[in-house]
């Protein structure tokens, strides 16, 4: 490993711990829930370990995977590593993935009758820009290979998905992008729940189309 790659890996370790602490301290994750991963220049990945609070991550003990998806160093990885690898497998430009059990997003995933092709309406421009369309993945147990396959089937067309009774999985070109998109999703879910039962005015299809064209959104 060259010095430049070693520096990049150490920087990724530090960034994961910093983002995990920020998410935990703001109540977007709790207990030992949620996980973060970053794609490395080596072709492998760093991921948060199992049964560890995101508020207390040790950069040196993060789980390291090689380019074939094999755990080669660090603590025992999260059982939801398969979700991350499924997302990376379909999104070659993904540099990071964030998966949370954030309260409002999970609450929306429990509502009967939401559109499984696009769970949340386009309430704000930034939701359209950072998240876009949000499909719902039917419930499967955490860590189940079938859950990873279900995510993989949607990941080619969607960088964000919502797992029923579970939470969001969001990819970004960088860790910051994945973090911001996950936070935007959570805030939009919060708005959606706050406005339940009220007459609302989401963005029109024409306004959404304009944003997609204006910002070259997929």
**56/198 Cα distance (integer angstroms):** 40
Across 40-191, the runs of DSSP E, i.e. the strands, are 45-47, 63-65, 71-73, 96-99, 136-137, 160-163, 167-172
**132/151 Cα distance (integer angstroms):** 16
Q: Which two tokens stand for residue 20?
A: 């995990």
**Percent of the chain that is helix, strand, coil (3-state, to 5):** 45, 15, 45
- CB-based contact 189:108 (threshold 8 Å): yes
- Enumerate the active-site residues: 80, 126
Residue linked to tokens 């990945």: 45
Q: Please report which residue ranges of 27-140 form alpha helices under DSSP H.
A: 81-90, 103-109, 125-130
Coil vs helix vs strand at 218: coil
Residues 6+ apart with CB under 8 A from 173: 93, 94, 95, 96
């Amino acid at each position: 490993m060259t010095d430049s790659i070693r520096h990049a890996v150490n920087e990724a370790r530090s960034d994961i711990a910093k983002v995990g602490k920020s998410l935990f301290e703001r109540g977007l994750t709790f207990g030992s829930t949620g996980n973060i991963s970053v794609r490395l220049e080596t072709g492998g990945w760093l991921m948060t370990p199992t049964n560890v609070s995101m508020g207390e991550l040790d950069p040196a003990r993060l789980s390291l995977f090689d380019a074939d998806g094999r755990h080669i160093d660090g603590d025992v990885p999260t059982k939801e590593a398969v979700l991350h690898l499924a997302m990376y497998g379909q999104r070659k430009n993904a540099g990071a993935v964030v998966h949370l059990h954030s309260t409002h997003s999970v609450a929306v995933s429990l509502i009967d009758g939401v559109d499984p092709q696009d769970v949340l309406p386009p309430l704000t421009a930034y939701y359209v820009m950072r998240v876009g369309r949000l499909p719902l993945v039917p419930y499967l147990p955490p860590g189940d290979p079938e859950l990873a396959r279900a995510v993989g089937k949607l990941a080619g067309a969607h960088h964000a998905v919502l797992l029923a009774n579970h939470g969001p999985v969001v990819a970004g070109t960088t860790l910051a992008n994945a973090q911001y998109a996950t936070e935007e999703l959570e805030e939009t879910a919060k708005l959606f729940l706050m406005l339940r039962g009220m007459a609302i005015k989401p963005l029109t299809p024409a306004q959404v189309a304009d944003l997609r064209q204006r910002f070259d959104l997929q």
